[in-house]
Amino acid sequence: MNLKDIKKKLLSGDFSSLLWFGEDKRKIHPTEVAKMLTALPVSNAIEAFKSLPTRTEVRVFPYLDHLLQKKITKAAAHERASYILNELSSDDRMNFFTSLKGVELSFFLDFLNEKNKSALHGLLGYPDKSVARLINTDFATIEKEVTVAEACEHLRKNHKDSEAANVIYVVDKDGKLIDDIPVRRFVLNEPEKKIADILDGFCISLKMTDSKEDAIVKFKEYDRVVLPVVNQENVLLGVLTVDDVLDVAEQRDTKEIQNFGGMESLDYPYVKTKFFSLIKKRAGWLVVLFIGEMLTATAMGYFDIEISKAVVLALFVPLIISSGGNSGSQAATLIIRAMALKELTIKDWWFVMRREIFSGLTLGLILGLIGFIRIAVWQHFHWYNYGEHWFLVAITIFFSLIGIIMWGTLSGSMVPMVLKRFKLDPATSSAPLVATLVDVTGLFIYFSIAAIILKGTLL
């Protein structure tokens, strides 16, 4: 089959014959099918999806992005859409429905059968941030009195060949979790052994209400790939696999990084985000920061007499405020990331504050010295004439840099902690917020120090 044929088949929607394409007629993994579909224009993707065998549809669906999932479901016949949505694994179903809001949510809920609808309703009751939103409710349980052979028999009869059968959960009569057994232990132990004798006594679990971030920490700490999730009474309600947590960690970091960049985080990847929603996400914070920065014009206006007397002061304004901003972003970045990874809590504020004041002092001394030397060298070689009082100007720059950088590291480290204290997300535009704060107050520090040092000479 040449490329032209492939293209023809794709455009005519005859997709399923392509799936056994290739010399060795090898099967194609659902994620690869999904990638191909995503690369097609939407209308063709919908047609191509329809041409898939129904079982394949169910397997490919979870790998599509939410936009395409919605369009495909809307375009499909009601019965077919209903079949797909009901056959999805519970975590994939949840993932799809979590992306929906309002009218859309109720529209798509109608496709579900009663059992799935009420299960989904129950889980949607938990907060967005909780692990309940990620769990798979399909899992294998066993009681501890049975033998390994009986347990195997039970598994064979009741479970299909899916990830859910990798770990078996031992529960009591009330469904309360006792322990977990990786299925390998059924193979590695003699069939006559009692389940109770092959338990290892280490059972780590998550609560439904635990935050997704806590789950990340727990998976990392215990090096697990799947963890059981229980309610307050320790009744097993679902399992959480690490690949979902990997997605969560990545989304958290993307959000954090985009917030650092001074913008709302995107809902879709950059390339998939429409132009105007991209502008919306960016304009909001840009306008807020712009309005904040307008205070610098006010502050500068406040010192306009000083500037007209000593234009030389204006020359260093960008240098001074950007140094404060840079040192502030550094501190904010360090603290926000350390808090996100739970290395630091707000209880450590005093440790952080002391540390950042001394960091600011040290960094300020370094930059202050460089600034001082810069002016002295330029003056000495007549590259620029800072006037007869150049030495006092250099001293002003020296002390201003120390003051502003200390103020930068201090506010950079404390603003995220204060935000966290008031239950706000410390990542939200902290870095640019800090930069703006430092810019405005930095001008006051600079001109005040100038007023003291240059009084009677330049001012």
**Binding residues for its own copies restricted to 346-405, rule: CB under 8 A:** 348, 351, 355, 358-359, 362-363, 366-367, 370-371, 374, 384
**CB-based contact 53:64 (threshold 8 Å):** no
**Mask for 192-211, x = binds its own copies (CB under 8 A):** ---------xx-x-------
Angle between helices 430-454 and 242-260 (to 10 degrees): 30
Closest approach of its own copies to the CB of residue 115, in Å: 24
- In whole angstroms, the minimum distance from the beta carbon of 191 to its own copies comes to 10
Contact status: 96 vs its own copies (CB under 8 A):
no
Candidates 6, 39, 187, 418; binder of its own copies (CB under 8 A) is 187
Question: In the range 305-324, which residues lie near its own copies by CB under 8 A?
Answer: 307-308, 311-312, 314-319, 321-323
Beta bridge partners of 180: 169
Question: Considering CB under 8 A, how many residues would be counted as binding its own copies?
Answer: 121
Contact flag: residue 439 with its own copies (CB under 8 A): yes
**Which residues, 218 to 277, sit near its own copies by CB under 8 A?**
219-226, 241-243, 245-247, 249-250, 253-254, 256-258, 260-263, 266, 269-271, 275
> What distance in Å separates the CA atoms of residue 63 and residue 373, rounded to the nearest whole number?
59
Compute the least distance from the CB of residue 79 to its own copies, in Å: 28
Task: Select 111 or 327, whichever has its Cβ closest to its own copies.
Answer: 327
Q: How far is the CB of 91 from its own copies (least distance, A)?
A: 10
Total residues found in the chain within this entry: 459
Cβ-based neighbours of 386, under 8 Å, separated by 6 or more = 312, 375, 378, 379, 393, 394
Nearer to its own copies, 86 or 166 (CB): 166
Closest CB 251 distance from its own copies, rounded Å: 10
**Whole-angstrom Cα distance, residue 12 to residue 48?**
8
Least distance to its own copies, CB of residue 94, Å: 15
A 10 A CB-CB count for 217 gives 14
Q: Nearer Cβ to its own copies, position 47 or 205?
A: 205
Q: Among residues 39 and 291, whose Cβ is nearest to its own copies?
A: 291
Minimum distance, C-beta of residue 345 to its own copies, in the bound complex (Å): 10
Please choose, out of 65-73, 107-115, 300-308, 415-423, the segment that lies near its own copies by the rule CB under 8 A.
Answer: 300-308
The answer to whether the beta carbons of residues 132 and 90 sit under 8 Å apart is no
Interface with its own copies, residue 301, by CB under 8 A: yes
Sign of the alpha-carbon dihedral angle for 114, 116, 119, 125: negative
For residue 171, which phi and psi values (nearest 5 degrees)?
A: -125, 160
- Shortest distance (Å) from residue 10 CB to its own copies: 21
Q: Nearest CA to 212 among 244, 236, 164?
A: 244
443 binds its own copies per the rule CB under 8 A: yes
Query: Could you please report the per-residue DSSP string of 296-364?
Result: HHHHHHHTHHHHHH-HHHHHTHHHHHHHHHHHHHHHHHHHHHHHHTTS--GGGHHHHHHHHHHHHHHHH
Binds its own copies (CB under 8 A): choice among 48, 84, 229, 334: 334
Phi, psi (rounded to 5 degrees) for 164: -60, -20
> Collapsing DSSP states into helix, strand and coil, what is residue 442?
helix
Give the DSSP H/E element, type plus range, for residue 256: helix 242-260
Site for its own copies in 112-171 (CB under 8 A): 152, 155-156, 159-161, 163, 165-166
310 Cβ partners below 8 Å, 6+ apart? 450, 454, 458, 459
- Residue tagged 């309940």 (tokens): 132
Binding window for its own copies (CB under 8 A); candidates: 7-15, 69-77, 184-192, 415-423: 184-192
The least CB distance from residue 285 to its own copies, in Å, is 8
Q: Residue 179 in 3-state DSSP? A: strand
For position 186 contacting its own copies by CB under 8 A, the verdict is yes
Rounded CA Rg of the chain: 31
**Per DSSP, what are the bridge partners of residue 181?**
168
Stretch that binds its own copies, among 76-84, 107-115, 336-344, 451-459 (CB under 8 A): 336-344
Nearer to its own copies, 51 or 359 (CB): 359
**Shortest distance, position 338 Cβ to its own copies, whole Å:** 4
Q: Which residue's CB is nearer to its own copies, number 120 or number 263? A: 263
Residue pair 336/344 in contact (Cβ under 8 Å)? The answer is no
Is residue 101 within the footprint of its own copies (CB under 8 A)?
no
Torsion angle of the four alpha carbons 387, 392, 393, 395, in this order, in degrees rounded to the nearest 10: 150
CA separation for the pair 11, 41 (Å, rounded): 9
Please pick, from the candidates 67, 124, 183, 235, the single residue that binds its own copies as defined by CB under 8 A: 183
Q: Is 72 a residue that touches its own copies (CB under 8 A)? A: no
CB of 65 to its own copies, least distance (A): 11
